[in-house]
Structure 1
């Protein structure tokens, strides 16, 4: 019975591979919610553990080429196990990284994760090589360390990112040493190229982080809007904006502000941070001229993590001019969390304002 299943899997390897990929992707989209939840952490670390077991078993079987043993019975299933784990892991990483930051600044890294997620199926034959296996595995490992360490340490910043990188290097060395015990010939043959690949990937991540292309994990923007006025009432924030037309059912803030003398522009934002994580963010106000966007002021404030809807805060800008404005929500080192662009029209114009509690 088992042999017939094994033969069936071998004959339909392509479809089982796609099934493993889609199952992993669907699993993460339905199960992952918040990065600071124990279950989400267990799922991601569990997938990494399964991928580690898969890579060790795969290379053990390729090294020994045994026949007639129990291990050979599971050989067709091991690549599927590895692909399921990596597919699930990359889809989970894509879920969390895409929630953090914006397409405007983080699209190169998000595109990389999406390519690895989709390419997980097309890499099936390339996975036979140890260097390729470990390179893809290390990208997942490093991305996971960068994602989870700020949650575990309740802080973020360059120091935590460098510590995440160091931890990932220590873990990949441990995996390579483990592989040496089970598949010494294969690992020795690929040792030098694997070192070059891992170091190159790690350095590339440093470049992505310090050029602010890497999303500001684990922060994510829940809401941002431009308003005529924002007031903290104690029970919430009362926001005031121009009443949407009947067909603008989606609009929750101003896209055009008809400004009058004595008023200020307000930017209200909710930023999610994991429980117990405290950090500083800033609102960067910018005004567009023919030469591009110019800063009109940067206002920092501290946020405290844990609220499901995100930590709420607002800033305002005065010295208003007619034209296009935007408010950028950033980390204290300039990583973009989100932004809102809107237009200001100066002058006495009829308008109807509405207020609601957020």
Structure 2
């Protein structure tokens, strides 16, 4: 009993500190345990959480006559934000894994700000409209992440199908229940759709469920039966696992880019390695197609190489079929005289 009383006293004295502790602990727990986007446990858990979140919102302002339900209603707001926080932290991790921060950083920041705001007592005290927006965002993120996993394809058609389903789900449900926020839901879902479509065409929306787990630049790649040998010049940076991002090109050298791309089970997709060179602006030099098949937990291995290049700053971007960036590596190329070199060989199984 003393422990319970001390806990209550601590909660009353430091409410914001406890919120921060639980938020950070929960987020770190998700980072450690969430796994891949195509794991059934994640899909089931997020489906249950989303269903309960919608249910919680629908009955958020309901007045109960029975005493035990009245007691429950005191915690309804906390339950709502707990469910929203659980969804947002998982979605934030999936978006982060699929993002190239240089292109999708803005969207990741927005998701994290929503996640942080959800934990704020000031935000939680806001009215129904804020909560409705939160529910709509969670529904949209859920469909964006899981519909490609279930269908096995990504692309513009799948994206617009996803946005359409996400936009009509909540308004139809609220209308059938004759909920007073039905009209507001239609406006918010339309605004959310516009926001996500803008994010899609400006490439700030990460290409979930794809993600680049590894990418690097090398002097040579040898494909063996079950592995790849990646050759880079021995240097101080190689000791720390970096590739040839300062590429010293001797006569006859080709520039190789190796990437390990995760795709969910059953998803087939054509990707591209896009070579770009800086010449006052980034100019596309080559675009090499790669066909991948999902299902490998460690990621599908692929590489491309380039024989014709000039000195300067380069980058190689892994692009989805709908032209969204999944990952990139930046590097420089400089010509050097021919001389003997020592190689560091990185074996990728």
Give the alignment's TM-score, normalised by structure 1. 0.87
The offset of 1:319, in angstroms, is 1.9
How is 1:73-92 mapped onto 2 (pairs within 5 angstroms)? Answer: 73-92=71-90
Q: Unaligned 5+ residue runs, structure 2?
A: none
Q: Which moved more, 1:322-331 or 1:168-177?
A: 168-177
2:157 aligned to which of 146, 156, 159: 159
Distance (whole Å) between structure 1 residues aligned to residue 72 and residue 21 of structure 2 = 18
CA contact (8 A) 2:53 2:80 kept: yes
Provide the secondary structure at the position in 2 that maps to 1:261.
Answer: coil
- The corresponding residue for 2:214 is 223
Moved more, 22-31 or 50-59: 22-31
How big is each residue's C-alpha offset from its partner over 1:71-111, in whole Å with a ceiling of 9 and x where there is no partner?
11112221111111111111100100000021100012111
Taking structure 1 as reference, are residues 276 and 222 closer, same or farther at Cα in structure 2, changes over 3 Å only?
Answer: same
Q: Is the 8 A contact 1:327 1:341 kept in 2?
A: yes
Match of 2:119 in 1: 121
Residues 126 and 252 (structure 1), Cα distance of their counterparts in 2 relative to 1, 3 Å cut? closer
Contact 2:118 2:124 in 1 (8 A): no
The 1:23/1:262 distance shift into structure 2, 3 A limit, reads closer
1:35 partner SS:
coil
Q: Distance in 2 between matches of 1:77 and 1:136?
A: 18
For 1:287 and 1:128, how far apart are their aligned partners in 2? 49
Report the CA distance between 1:150 and its aligned residue. 0.3
* Match in the other structure for 2:285: 296
Deviations 1:117-151 (Å, cap 9, x if unpaired)? Answer: 10002265555522221111100110110000000
Change (3 A) 1:23 1:233: closer
Instruction: Kindly tell me the number of residue pairs found equivalent between the two proteins.
Output: 340
CA distance in 1 between counterparts of 2:210 and 2:167 reads 24
1:59 counterpart SS class:
coil
Q: Show the 5 A alignment for 1:245-324.
A: 245=236, 248-289=238-279, 291-324=280-313
SS of residue in 1 equivalent to 2:154:
coil
1:47 Cα shift?
1.7
Q: Give the conservation status (yes or no) of the 8 Å contact 2:81–2:124.
A: no
Give the direction of change, closer, same or farther, for the CA distance of 1:267–1:72 in structure 2 (3 Å limit): same
Whether the aligned pair in 1 keeps the contact of 2:238 and 2:344 (CA below 8 Å) is no
- Alignment match, 2:129: 131
Give the corresponding residue for 2:320.
331
Unaligned stretches of 5+ residues in structure 1: none
**Contact 1:21/1:83, CA 8 A, preserved across alignment:** no
Determine the C-alpha separation between the residues in 2 that align with 1:209 and 1:329.
16
Which residue number corresponds to residue 71 of structure 1? 69
C-alpha distance in structure 2 between counterparts of 1:26 and 1:256, whole Å? 35
Q: Secondary structure of the equivalent of 1:327?
A: strand
Please say if residues 171 and 186 of structure 2, whose CA atoms lie closer than 8 Å, have aligned partners that are also in contact: no
Cα distance in 1 for partners of 2:65, 2:21 equals 27
Alignment of 1:127-206 (within 5 A): 128-177=126-175, 180=178, 184=179, 187=180, 190-206=181-197
Deviations 1:184-210 (A, max 9, x none): 5xx2xx443332222111111111112
Match of 2:109 in 1: 111
CA distance in 2, matches of 1:49, 1:110: 24
Cα contact 2:277–2:285 (8 A) shared by 1: yes
Output the aligned Cα RMSD.
Answer: 2.5
Alpha-carbon distance change, 19 to 178 in structure 1, aligned in 2, over 3 angstroms: farther
